[in-house]
């Protein structure tokens, strides 16, 4: 699979994950976010989504790992939302 096809597949998985998350199917959302990060680990949106879904499932250690990963996945064409810092 070439890079363009992988990026398209990653975006499709991301959109599925968002749909699952919206409907409360968090385990399915996590699986699709994981697929997106495996296909394109450079897009921080995928890592953030995965981390948020994992935290909703109370998988805090894995969620933290994914949210930290988003900081190393930056590329010049993506905007990254900052992760709120604990007070």
**Residues of the chain above pLDDT 90, percent:** 75
CA 29 to each of CA 36, 40, 50, 72: distance values in angstroms, whole numbers, following the listed order: 11, 16, 8, 22
Top CATH class, 3-69: mainly alpha
Q: Answer yes or no: is pLDDT of 73 > 60.
A: no
**Domain boundaries in the chain?**
3-69
pTM: 0.79
pLDDT confidence of residue 63? 95
């Amino acid at each position: 699979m070439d890079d363009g096809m992988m990026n398209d597949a990653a975006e499709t998985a991301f959109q599925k994950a968002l749909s699952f998350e919206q409907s409360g199917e968090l385990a399915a959302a996590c699986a699709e976010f994981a697929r997106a990060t495996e296909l394109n680990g450079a897009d921080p949106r995928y890592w953030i989504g995965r981390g948020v879904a994992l935290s909703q499932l109370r998988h805090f250690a894995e969620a933290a790992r994914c949210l930290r990963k988003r900081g190393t996945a930056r590329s010049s064409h993506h905007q990254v939302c900052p992760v709120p810092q604990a007070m």
